[in-house]
Amino acid sequence: MPLPPTPHFDSIVTLDDVKNPKPSPEMFRKVCHELGIKPGHALVIEDGMYGIQGAKQCGMHSIGLRTKFNKYQDFSAASMEIKSLGQLDVEKIKALGE
């Protein structure tokens, strides 16, 4: 059963909402469809390499969020990598779309 939108998220898609799990791009395509946006105009923040791979296959930019739990995962497909959400930089994010 889909979760209802919240004040912070306009769309929430979980494994229950798709047939194929990450790294399939299906989940990312579904979110873009629900929001009415093109994948190239979306940004994914992911803490797992399968999510980063799925976002890339969908045509989305991604930011890999590196933590102590995923320090050995391959984030090479990410558009950029950060170690905390506090490192998000609006100008660098805007530059991804240029």
What pLDDT score was predicted for residue 2? 58
In a domain, 98, yes or no: no
For the chain, list the strands marked E by DSSP.
43-46, 61-65, 80-82
Q: What tokens does 36 get?
A: 């009415």
**Global pTM exceeds 0.75:** yes
In a domain, 19, yes or no: yes
Domain that holds residue 50: 15-83
Q: What tokens does 4 get?
A: 């209802």
Q: Which residue has the tokens 């105009």?
A: 41
43 strand-pairing partners: 61
In a domain, 43, yes or no: yes
| Total number of domains in the chain | 1
The CATH code of the domain that includes 38 is 3.40.50.1000
In a domain, 70, yes or no: yes
In a domain, 9, yes or no: no
- The CA dihedral of 42, 37, 51, 14, to the nearest 10 degrees, is 130
In a domain, 6, yes or no: no
pLDDT in tens, 12-70: 899 999 999 999 999 999 999 999 999 999 999 999 999 999 999 999 999 999 999 99
